[in-house]
Amino acid sequence: MRSYTLALACLVLAAGPPAAAAAEVPPATTDVAPPATTDTAPPAVTDTAPPAVTPAEAPSDPAMDAALAKQRSRAVGLAVHGGELLRAGLDDQAIAAYGEALQAWPAYPLALNELGAIYAKKKELARAEALLQQALQLDPEFTAARANLAEVQRRMGRFPAAIESYHAVLDASPEDPDAHYGLAAAFARAGDKPAARWAMERYLKLVGDDAEGPRVAEVEEQLERLDDDDVEARAPWVVASVTKQPAEPPRHAGDEKFYARRYMEALAAYRAALGDGDDVVLLYKIGATYAVMNDYRSALNWWRRALLLEPDRELVVRHLGLATIKLAAQSPPSSPAIPDPLEGARVALIAGDAAAAVARLAGEAGEEAAQLRGEALLLLGDLAGARASFESILNARPDDRDASGGLAEALARQGASAPAAAAMRQWLGDRDVPPETFLVLRSNDFVTRLTSEPEE
């Protein structure tokens, strides 16, 4: 099953390393259904990031906004803890952690997906299906939850529904080998051998000629049986070709080491291949390798380099935001014992407690206090208050880059496109990126500044 929390650092570009095998309970097989491997295989990679869903905007109530922000922050922390428990094999404790996250924030697709994946692993398929359906109601584009739902439906014997779900997954991620593998099994169980063969052949093409392992061997064996039965492939719907295009970046020597979990060797191979170049795929793979080693600060640095080269790389933008969340979650909690109000506010912001940061800044003057207050008010959704804080800095220092960035975010979120664009240009300098990319870049920049060691 696809666990977003576990698979964060393994997310790859379409041209990146092949996906790892998904952990699943194997379905009953037919003579052409490629069986799953084991229940302990590494989690499959996720190709989409589940955004936290917030309620529709209502008239601003600062006290209520602060309370909601604190609950959301607590839910994120509990979800991260749930992922750590899963890595330790403590499924029941992970269930409790994700349950607490949902009590704090009921409209949290990530926690619903993680719970669904755990219950599927425990073979409580009806319960898993209900949780995954809830996640998709909140976020219909949450592809990891859609892929998990497809697997659950297949294992429940609901093959038409599973095929429909896999179709939706492949619409979002046409080169997902795991989805093709599951789709082949669903078609085979539904008795559609030509479509099953089509999915198997695409699976083998996507994992590459050099791929090995139990899945590859089983699929090759099933294709030989279909050859004996003179079954020819038939595409079940109009699809894009997966024939390698000349412009596709090559696979690298580090990929094999990455999937063998020899991460330091993978890093050395990727960096040797990169040299002094600017290969976006290699930059991404280096970041992903650092991320799987829980070094999110290094991952952010490499992914930022990739994004500067290609600002519209959607997956890089998305993963930057995810790594930022993980980095913040690794930071020390807020401590009321810190006597300096500015440092206390900074630590509170690192911990995600924006309301505490505002409280620590009460009565504090000066540009640093105004910058921290503006950032905290942005987190609380008080866009007018944040805008006033950043404008107070710019009135004294019109060229202040951090204040310009904060003002641009506040204006953009208020819908003031023209003044937001002007402030955005001041923060970006010569770069020209879409507003959504700017928001991620600035968020990452702010978290990095917060979590960096103070200069001596």
pLDDT in tens, 310-369: 766 656 665 665 666 555 555 544 444 567 888 888 877 766 667 778 888 888 888 888
State how far the Cα of 354 lies from the Cα of 345, in Å rounded to an integer: 8
Q: Which percentage of the chain shows pLDDT scores above 90?
A: 13
Give the whole-angstrom CA distance, residue 41 versus residue 43.
6
Cα dihedral 282, 80, 36, 45, rounded to 10, equals: -20
Q: What is the pLDDT of residue 46?
A: 38
Lowest mean pLDDT among 18-27, 58-67, 410-419: 18-27
Q: Which of 147-161, 279-293, 382-396, 426-440 has the lowest mean pLDDT?
A: 426-440
Check residues 303 and 390 and name the one with the higher pLDDT.
390
Query: What pLDDT does 2 receive?
Result: 64
Of 218-227, 251-260, 294-303, 325-334, the range with the lowest mean pLDDT is 325-334
Superfamily (CATH) of domain 253-329: Tetratricopeptide repeat domain (1.25.40.10)
Q: What is the pLDDT, as a whole number, of residue 452?
A: 56
- Looking at residue 456, its pLDDT comes to 42
pLDDT score for 273: 87
List, for residues 235-283, the tens digit of each pLDDT value.
887 655 444 333 344 567 788 777 766 778 888 888 888 887 778 888 8
- Indicate the range of 119-133, 241-255, 352-366, 412-426 predicted with least confidence: 241-255
Q: What is the pLDDT of residue 118?
A: 93
Q: What is the pLDDT of residue 352?
A: 61
Residue predicted with more confidence, 247 or 390: 390
pLDDT at 384 over 50: yes
The CATH number fitting domain 341-451, selected from 3.20.20.70, 3.30.110.30, 1.25.40.10, 1.10.260.40: 1.25.40.10
CA dist 64 → 59, 60, 73, 126, 261 (Å)? 10, 8, 14, 36, 45
- 62-101 pLDDT per residue, tens: 666 666 667 777 777 788 788 778 877 888 988 998 998 8
Higher per-residue pLDDT: 41 or 364: 364
CA nearest neighbour of 410 among 399, 419, 398, 401: 419
The model scores a pTM over 0.75: no
* First-to-final CA distance of the chain: 47
pLDDT reading at 179 higher than 60: yes
Q: Which residue has the tokens 């997906």?
A: 113
- Angle (CA) 176 182 185, round 5°: 145
Q: Using the predicted structure, report yes or no on whether residue 30 has a pLDDT greater than 70.
A: no
Question: Does 379 have pLDDT greater than 60?
Answer: yes
Q: Residue 115 — very low, low, confident or very high, per pLDDT cuts 50/70/90?
A: very high
Over the chain, what is the mean pLDDT? Answer: 74
Q: Which has the minimum average pLDDT: 118-122, 218-222, 339-343, 385-389?
A: 339-343
For the cut 90, the answer to whether the pLDDT of residue 229 exceeds it is no
CATH of domain 4-228: 1.25.40.10
401/339 Cα distance (integer angstroms): 28
* pLDDT band, residue 38 (cuts 50/70/90): very low
pLDDT at 116: 92
Answer yes or no: is pLDDT of 232 > 80: yes
Q: Which of 215-229, 259-273, 281-295 has the highest mean pLDDT?
A: 215-229
For residues 146 and 163, what is the distance between their CA atoms, to the nearest angstrom? 11
Q: What is the pLDDT of residue 198?
A: 92
The boundaries of every CATH 1.25.40.10 domain in the chain are 4-228, 253-329, 341-451
Query: How many C-beta neighbours within 10 Å does residue 175 have?
Result: 18
